[in-house]
Amino acid sequence: MNFDKLFSCLQNYLVPFMIKTSNQRHIQAIKKGLVSTIPVTFIGSIVIILRYAPIKFNIAGSNSFFKFLLLWREWSEANNEAIMKLFKVTVGIYSVFLVLAISYNLAREYKLKEIIVTKVAIINFLIVSVEFDDNLFIIDNLNGQNLFTAIIVAILTVEIMRKLDNIEVKLNLKINIPPATIEVFTSLVPLLCSILFFYFLDFGTHRIIGISFPEIINIIFDSIVRIVDTPIGIFFFGMLMQLLWFTGIHGVTMVDAFLRPILEYNWMVNLNLYLAGQEMDKIFTIQFLNFYMLIGGAGTTLAYSFLCWSSSAQQLKKIGETNLISSLFNIDESLIFASPLVLNKILFIPFVFVQPIIGVLAYLIISYGIVQKSFIRVPWIIPAPLGALLSTLDWKAAILVIFLTLLSGGFYYPFFKKYENHLINKGQG
């Protein structure tokens, strides 16, 4: 393999494209908005863990642990309404928080009045999303299943108001009336135009097409979601992350700008299906990425950290001793650059391909129903076995992570030994 040619191709074509695209203002606003709403989903996920004790059958006996689980289940069932209230005002209206966050970040980028823009964006989202039953306000469409609608409404609202705000400046220069009066009048123009745009959009989609605007958006994005949530999609994005890492670019951050909306949408769809008592149908979620692919960090390096820790080469042993604990919490940036895995020709194959390979394997195992799909938000810095267990409420998920870790170690081992011998022969051992 001609690494110089490969590296030149990555540096000249892939890296500039990914940097330019991921830094595009709309994509950045979406990414910042999704990240800023993570605390909301954590609160809702804690509620789900409290509400659904990890026991689905009665167990006779005196085991104190099982007695505790049964008492937990009885308590959560008896207090269902009180417990789920906190869920309904967090994850239950997640899309409202997302509209607010994205519109705020994009308005800030354009130096618009953030508070006004976010208020209008929320009004617009409610216009196209909510339904009424007599005088009752139905919030079922405000959850994460309308994530893509929230993104589009937020961006369109900001862009409409920005365009009309530019027209305001021209009017201010021509109309010879007190500036304060002009400011009050013209500030209403973008607000009203934006709201009327979404009002007639909602009216038109219902009258002409017969379905709501969010339904149209979900139909459009459904094919993209389906393509990503496949072994091919997992392999492609897993490999893309690692190719960027190989050049020294933070691959997760670059790819995350495009991938996160889909992965966030997938786990929220699963969550709503779980609550409805239906079978979950999404596998490639943000939790899947964090706990089945990024085991130990980018490149699935937890097993590699253990190999370094036990190495005969002093350089690798010191790196392993320094980074083993952080790798247990899925943090491996220092390992990647100190080892180094970046631009390391010997370790190129496992560093780039182990992550997508075990991702595909995990996908296949989950698709056969051996392990439950993920539907609960868990912090990514939780050790992968525990994170997988909590995100699925399935003990077999932890076993799967341990299996994948051992398997990744098997993939890394021959290349690691070659690199270890290379360092020893160079006198760096």
- Summarize pLDDT for 319-331 with one digit per residue, the tens: 999 899 999 999 9
Query: What pLDDT is stored for residue 154 in this prediction?
Result: 96
Helix-strand-coil percent breakdown of the chain, rounded to 5? 75, 0, 25
Q: What is the pLDDT of residues 92-125, one digit of tens each?
A: 999 999 999 999 999 999 988 889 999 999 999 9
User: For the chain, which residues make up each domain, given as ranges?
Assistant: 3-220, 229-425
Per-residue pLDDT for 168 more than 60?
no
Share of the chain above pLDDT 70, in %: 92
- Predicted structure pTM score: 0.90
Q: Which residues is 133 bridged to in the sheet? A: 136
With cut-offs at 50, 70 and 90, classify the pLDDT of residue 58: low
Contact 104, 155 (CB under 8 A): no
Query: What pLDDT is stored for residue 178 in this prediction?
Result: 61
DSSP state, 132? E
Residue 6 CB coordination number (10 Å):
15
Per-residue pLDDT for 174 more than 60?
no
Per-residue pLDDT for 161 more than 60?
yes
Among residues 156, 268, 157, 140, the alpha carbon closest in space to that of 215 is found at 140
Structure tokens at 272: 């709503």
With cut-offs at 50, 70 and 90, classify the pLDDT of residue 225: very high
Query: What pLDDT is stored for residue 201 in this prediction?
Result: 92
Q: What is the pLDDT of residues 290-317, one digit of tens each?
A: 999 999 999 999 999 999 999 888 889 9
Residue 16 CB coordination number (10 Å):
11
Helix (H) or strand (E) holding 199: helix 179-204
Query: What pLDDT is stored for residue 182 in this prediction?
Result: 60
| 134-147: average pLDDT | 83
With cut-offs at 50, 70 and 90, classify the pLDDT of residue 62: low
Contact 213, 327 (CB under 8 A): no
Per-residue pLDDT for 270 more than 90?
yes
d(CA 148, CA 131): 18
Q: Which residues is 414 bridged to in the sheet? A: none
Per-residue pLDDT for 39 more than 90?
yes
Structure tokens at 257: 């700008």
Structure tokens at 63: 């085991």
**Residues in contact with 339: Cβ distance below 8 Å, sequence separation at least 6, in sequence order:** 304, 308, 316, 319, 347
User: Distance from first CA to last CA of the chain, Å, rounded?
Assistant: 27
d(CA 44, CA 100): 18
Burial tier of 54 (Cβ tally within 10 Å: 0-12, 13-18, 19+): middle
Tell me how many helices (H) and strands (E) the chain has.
20, 2
Per-residue pLDDT for 245 more than 90?
yes
d(CA 100, CA 124): 11
Of 10-14, 57-61, 68-72, 407-411, where does mean pLDDT reach its minimum?
A: 57-61
Query: What pLDDT is stored for residue 1 in this prediction?
Result: 60
CA angle 130, 46, 132 (to 5 degrees): 10
What's the mean per-residue pLDDT of the chain? 89
Per-residue pLDDT for 170 more than 80?
no
Among residues 94, 112, 108, 199, the alpha carbon closest in space to that of 151 is found at 94
